[in-house]
Amino acid sequence: MMRLFFAILSLGALSACGAAPDRYTVATPAVTEQQRIAFGAVEVREVSLPAYAASDEIPLLDADGKVVSDGGILWADTPNRAVALEFSRNLARVSGARVASAPWPFEAFPDARLDLRFEELVAVADGQFRAKGQYFVAVTDGRRERSGFFDLAVPFDPDGGPQAIARARGQIILDLANYVARNGLR
């Protein structure tokens, strides 16, 4: 019995020695331009990320094209949820429309539903944070449904560490909200 107690105590002591991972939040950048859209209410129905971008680990695309990450450096929130919320908040701030991510929380249905499918959402070792993919706008009232491609990049300081990557992700999601408002929701 005493051996079991010491084994459990040792296991607890060893697990306490392991350092907790560092978690990074994404700051909300300032909106510098407004964009009128054709819809009063928009649901961000789905945000689809590549596997590496959906992971809690903060990825970096190295010069050889390999996605690398460190298990000790994590996003503070799950990326699918966080990107959907960031995009929704930014689209609302940019457009003035009522915007929410799925599930739609209001009684009245949205005027449009939006899906974002990312092919790429990654910081590149050369100092560019890239977002590439496609958006889809579904409309139920007979107006023209739309889709389009996006391929955006924002610079960041590669020596700035995870904080610089987090700032760049915040900026690129704001830039994407502006892009989709201008090209897909007018």
HSE toward the beta carbon, residue 175, CA cutoff 13 A: 17
Identify the pLDDT of residue 10: 40
**Residues 6-42: tens digit of each pLDDT:** 333 343 444 445 689 999 999 999 999 999 999 999 9
Q: Which residue has the higher pLDDT, 53 or 18?
A: 53
Q: How far apart are CA 100 and CA 86, in angstroms?
A: 10
Cβ–Cβ < 8 Å for 69, 122: no
**Whether CATH 3.40.50.10610 fits 41-184:** yes
Task: Report the mean per-residue pLDDT for the chain.
Answer: 91
Identify the pLDDT of residue 15: 43
Phi/psi of residue 150, each to 5°? -130, 150
Lowest mean pLDDT among 11-20, 47-56, 90-99: 11-20
What proportion of the chain, given as a percentage, has pLDDT over 70? 90
H or E element: which one contains 7? helix 2-17
Identify the pLDDT of residue 148: 98
User: How does DSSP classify residue 57?
Assistant: B
The pLDDT-based confidence of 143 (bands split at 50, 70, 90) is confident
The pLDDT-based confidence of 160 (bands split at 50, 70, 90) is very high
* CA nearest neighbour of 164 among 31, 69, 27: 27
Identify the pLDDT of residue 144: 86
Identify the pLDDT of residue 69: 94
Identify the pLDDT of residue 17: 52
Cβ–Cβ < 8 Å for 56, 78: yes
* Diameter of the chain measured on Cα atoms: 74
* pLDDT over 90 at 120, yes or no: yes
Cβ–Cβ < 8 Å for 128, 117: no
Which SS3 state, helix, strand or coil, does residue 69 take?
A: coil
Q: How far apart are CA 165 and CA 9, in angstroms?
A: 39
* pLDDT over 80 at 157, yes or no: yes
* pLDDT over 50 at 60, yes or no: yes
Q: What is the CA radius of gyration of the chain?
A: 20
* pLDDT over 90 at 74, yes or no: yes
79 CA to centre of own chain: 5
Q: How far apart are CA 4 and CA 32, in angstroms?
A: 62
Q: Which amino acid does the sequence have at 95? A: S
